[in-house]
Amino acid sequence: MKKRLTQRVRNAFFLTLYTLFILFPFYWTFLMSIKIPTDVIAYPPKFIFKPTIQNYLWTLGLKIQEQVTTGIRGQPLPPEFVRAFLNSVIICGGTVALSVGVGALAAYALAKFKFRAKENIAFTFLSFRFAPPLAIIIPLYFVYVRIGLYNSYLGLILGYQLITLPLTVWLMRVAFEEVPEEIDEAATIDGCNWWTKFLKIDLPLSRGGLVAVVILSFLFAWNEFTFPLIIGGSTTKPIPIAMLDFVTYSQVLYGPMAAAILLAIIPNIIGISFVLRFLVKGLTFGAIKE
Amino acid sequence: MKRSKVTVAIGLVLLITFVASSFAFAGFEDWNIDWRQLEGKSIEVGLVRHPMTDSILPLVPEFEKLTGISVGFEVLSEVQFREKLLVDLASHAGIYDVYNTGPRYSWKYYSAGWLQPLNSYLNDPKLTDLAAYDLDDFFPLMLASARWTGEFGKGMGEGYQLHVPCQEEAYCLFYRKDILAEAGMTVPVTWDELYNDAVKLTDQTFAGQKIKGFVARGIRNEGPVLVWIGQKLYSDGGRWFDENMNFVGNNPVGVETFEWAAKILQDAGPRGVSNFDWYDCMNGFASGRYAFFIDADHMNVVFEDPTTSAVAGKVGYALCPAGKAGRKSGAWYWSMAMSNYSDSKEAAWLFMQWATSKEIMLKSILKGNTDPVRKSVNYDPGIVKTFKDWGYYDMNEELTSYARTMWPPAPNMVESMFRLGRAFQEVLLKQRTAQAALDDAKWDIEDMMAPFRK
């Protein structure tokens, strides 16, 4: 009993330490986001200082640019953060919708049907992820500029499929395969064709997999850098590219950058904590007798 | 009564708007070209996130109103912009009509056929009012570094006008006036004095802060070689390449320079300096942690602004110390160049001409776009006064006799400077001797240059 208590204390201690280790960067970023520039660069680092919300106001474009009338003063323009945020939401939402819509059907076919070259097709999907984006970006850019997809939401959503579609197809395939064949057979006896089986039986039963796919695709899309850098332009700039605006040629705007980072992770945190509730295991336990 | 007040108010607003707008355009409408000749065209400009960019973006509607040309923008930070520009140029897609670049990079772009030289536009009286644009108003060395005949290793200052400069960066010695006064030191005038002073000040406490004597970039890229190590090499009479473009940086002067540079960072620099890029050094200096710092002189805007610097008013500026051959410095000029794949080159030139005109350059320096490229801007009374208040040195001396593009033009100069940066890092981290690191660099650099040798 005593031994167990010490063990628990020790576990709690190390877990607390680990949590602090994980959370410290966020704490540090938060501190930076409420500091004025001279406090950000102060050495030794300041933990007690007069906080400011100017960084947030500036990042969101709410701070009125002060007019400097005398002398030479650096006056960086505020970043288009709000616009970038909306761009990110549109692009990532579209990407996930498209890749789940198309990918789930493809995965269903790969999981449930028998046809020629099935494994080759599945492998082809996976092979989209083999080459690093830089290997295909120049031809892709060239094609996009020619056919007018450059700097458009549709173009970016299509481009992002290279990242999210293989993931969707392979994860959903595994999820569909986990639905026991007997359930499908029972549904067939009850008069389902493959489409109703997909909609009413297999998709609801693979909800866990679907949720995982949505979360992962969204995260990958939200953090994608190379594609929007090259095939996106000034009006479709998503957050990872807008984040660069804080690195100017003459200074790095650490305060606003930290504010932007914290604002940018909000949707991820909300989205994931909301969606995690759907990650329920064992929906099919006991559905069949073996 | 009330109504007449409203009328008067409206009248006043209209009058002010009219006066303000006519004031803003007065300069350009007097130019002896038809600004509206390309009305209806549109251009796309690719720019680096830079004070110049921040200052001209709000003015672009004025340009659009003046010319009827619509201007689209893409602004990215330096490294990412170069990557995207490379993709745009290499794929011949031609999204950007105008882009930011400078010497070294423009040599590569021109050699690849990606850059449209500007001579035919400059000499076309229909497109350029040379009298108002006034090429002679640019500092001469700056304009020279934007010209090249295209010959390997020579011909800089002649031939094609590859780009027009919009910001200048030479390399200077920043020092803390208060620290030197307290320690009873004067500003070092030789490299050995700098080393000795920096080592003496290291780990001493000034104004309640324990400081290091010296900081400069130590990161593994082209930076350290370009912004401070090179200045010592040139001032000691050394050079990277001889007339025939053979790499001679591994001769005794080069080896001694690398050894000196590694030693000053090891003995007087901060821990982890081999990872320091410009912003690490700059922020550290602005927070008061270092006594000496060599880097780009336009950081003066950051150091003199009390909202971004804890040492505002305490920073002194000097040209880099002298070596056996006097004071010398390399330089970099942010410029605007035209893409060869642009489909509206004439409109692009009108924009470039407008953006680098005297009027716009003066407006842009007030928003932090130091250092000036035009004499008229440098000698503007307001600018002269600000520089004087800062205790800044005479730009004219710097820009006419001190700073210039010190390396010969070659398409692969960018890569060779990166290779030298790698060699310096090896020396700094004590992995190899300076001689061995530079000997190795020589082989790689000669390989890089070989394809362009005729």
CA distances from A269 to A101, A218, A265, A266, A272 (A): 24, 12, 6, 5, 5
Q: What are the tens digits of pLDDT across the range A115-170?
A: 999 999 999 988 888 878 888 888 999 999 999 999 999 999 999 999 999 999 99
The rounded distance, in Å, linking the Cα atoms of B315 and B299 is: 11
Q: What's the pLDDT at A134?
A: 81
Mean pLDDT for chain A? 88
- Residues B247, B225, B201: CA angle, nearest 5 degrees: 135
Looking at CA atoms only, how far is residue A241 from chain B in angstroms?
8
- In three-state secondary structure terms, B385 is helix
Taking the CB of residue B135, how many other CB atoms lie within 10 A of it? Answer: 13
Ramachandran class of B69: left when φ > 0, alpha when ψ lies in -120 to 50, beta otherwise = beta
Helices A2-33 and A254-275 pack at an angle, to 10 degrees, of 130
Q: What are the tens digits of pLDDT across the range A234-289?
A: 899 999 999 988 988 888 899 999 999 999 998 888 877 877 776 655 455 556 65
CB B88 within 8 A of CB B96: yes
- In three-state secondary structure terms, B290 is strand
Question: Hey, which bits of B64-157 come out as E strands?
Answer: 70-76, 98-101, 115-116, 147-148
The rounded distance, in Å, linking the Cα atoms of B274 and A90 is: 41
- In three-state secondary structure terms, B257 is helix
Q: Which residue reads 């504010």 in tokens?
A: A259
CB A139 within 8 A of CB A77: no
Residue spans of the domains in chain A: they are 2-54, 81-246
Q: What's the pLDDT at B21?
A: 44
- Residues B228, B233, B238: CA angle, nearest 5 degrees: 155
CATH superfamily of A81-246: MetI-like (1.10.3720.10)
**Domains of chain B, with CATH numbers?**
31-168+332-396 (3.40.190.10), 170-330+407-452 (3.40.190.10)
Helices B2-29 and B358-366 pack at an angle, to 10 degrees, of 120
Q: Nearest residue on chain B to A37, judged by CA atoms?
A: B308
Q: Nearest residue on chain B to A143, judged by CA atoms?
A: B93
The ipTM, to two decimals, is: 0.86
Q: Choosing among B47, B76, B363, which should be mutated to test the A contact, i.e. which has the most A CBs within 10 A?
A: B76
- In three-state secondary structure terms, B42 is strand
Say yes or no for a CB contact (<8 Å) between A250 and B299. Answer: yes
Contacts of A40 in chain B (CB under 8 A): 283
Q: What's the pLDDT at B3?
A: 57
Ranges of chain B with pLDDT below 70:
1-26
Say yes or no for a CB contact (<8 Å) between A75 and B283. Answer: no
Q: What's the pLDDT at B20?
A: 47
CA distances from A18 to A10, A13, A24, A31, A269 (A): 12, 9, 10, 20, 20
CA distances from A1 to A10, A12, A273, A276 (A): 14, 16, 36, 36
CB B407 within 8 A of CB B104: yes
The rounded distance, in Å, linking the Cα atoms of A143 and A129 is: 20
CA B107 to chain centre: 16
Q: What's the pLDDT at B1?
A: 45
The rounded distance, in Å, linking the Cα atoms of B393 and B400 is: 13
The rounded distance, in Å, linking the Cα atoms of A68 and B301 is: 13
Looking at CA atoms only, how far is residue A21 from chain B in angstroms?
22
User: What is the pLDDT averaged over residues A172-197?
Assistant: 91
CA distances from B376 to A138, B355, B363 (A): 43, 15, 12
Q: Does B75 touch chain A (CB under 8 A)?
A: yes
CB A226 within 8 A of CB A137: yes
At position A234, the amino acid (one-letter code) is S
Q: What's the pLDDT at B22?
A: 42
Q: What's the pLDDT at B23?
A: 44
CB A103 within 8 A of CB A168: yes
The rounded distance, in Å, linking the Cα atoms of B391 and B297 is: 13
Contacts of B48 in chain A (CB under 8 A): 249
Q: What's the pLDDT at B2?
A: 52
Q: What are the tens digits of pLDDT across the range A18-72?
A: 999 999 999 999 999 999 988 998 888 888 899 999 999 999 988 776 666 667 8
Q: For residue B98, what are the β-bridge partners?
A: B45, B338
Say yes or no for a CB contact (<8 Å) between A141 and B87. Answer: yes
